[in-house]
Amino acid sequence: MRIAICDDDLSGRKQFERSLKSWDPAYNAEKFSSGSSLLTAASGFPLFDIVFLDIYMPEENGIDIAKKLKDISPETGIVFVTTSREHAIDAFSVYALHYLVKPITPEGIAESFRRLAELRSDKRERITLTIGSERHTVFLDQICLLENDNHAVNVLFANGRKLKIWMSFRELEEKMNGNFLKINRGIMVNMAHIVQMGTDTCILQGGIKLPIAIRQSASIRAAYDNYVFDRLPHGKNF
């Protein structure tokens, strides 16, 4: 699990770390003294699972940082940390998990992780991918495209992030659900991210054009049409 604390106050960061270790010694947090450094780190992979973010920082507004963080990583849980409840309403306008008043306690951290677990207990399908020596869980609906690359697979996510997964295309293909459609040898797309399906070309969000296997174009188009039809509202007059 990737955890971050962003607080311009060194003593605040150290106090958080003590409380985190008191709650669970197995967890470690990446520490940042500014929102800009946090956002830079958030652009890497794996994504942050949870971020404890100070609202009051020199020349930075934690609420604004949180909005930018959500653009980068919508699935990251955000917990605001502050000395007062003045911005509590603003905090929840960006779907904050929790709002903690300093000093942070092990109980406050435990409640934050409980809320994160509750948020993730929904029915969205997810898979575990091995990246380097670590294993990370991702939501299937965030994957746009799988492309075979010799003994690896290039995975494109909805936020534009690209990863190379060292496993066979067939093995990863079998982990996908019915929203994914193989349109060519070594190319599988998430139909939820298709903006145009032609006879020889499929266009994804962001303008990505992909070739369709000519011999299977009719069956590929039929599968996509069925996917769209199943998601139309039925039983209503238009």
Q: Is residue 78 classed as helix, strand or coil in its secondary structure?
A: strand
Paired tokens of 187: 């190319």
- The yes-or-no verdict on residue 202 having pLDDT over 90 is yes
Q: Which is more confident, 190 or 121?
A: 190
Q: List, in sequence order, every residue forming a beta bridge with 101; answer none if it has no partner.
A: 82
Scan for tokens 């690896």, then name that residue. 152
By C-alpha distance, which of 111, 177, 114, 113 is closest to 146? Answer: 177
75 versus 218: which is more confidently predicted?
A: 218
Residue 189, phi then psi, degrees to nearest 5? -120, 155
How is the beta sheet containing 50-54 ordered, strand by strand? 29-32, 3-6, 50-54, 77-82, 98-101
Cα(154)–Cα(83) distance, integer angstroms: 44
Tell me the pLDDT tens digit for each residue of 122-163. 667 888 887 776 677 788 888 999 999 998 999 998 878 888
Domain boundaries, given as residue ranges, for the chain: 3-119, 127-230
Assign 144 to helix, strand or coil: strand
Domain 127-230 has CATH 3.40.50.1220: no
Q: Write down the residue that tokens 């993730």 correspond to.
A: 120
Give residue-wise pLDDT tens across range 57-101.
888 888 889 989 988 888 899 999 887 666 555 555 566 888 888
pLDDT for the residue 129:
81
Domain 3-119 has CATH 3.40.190.10: no
Residue 235's pLDDT band (cuts 50, 70, 90): very low
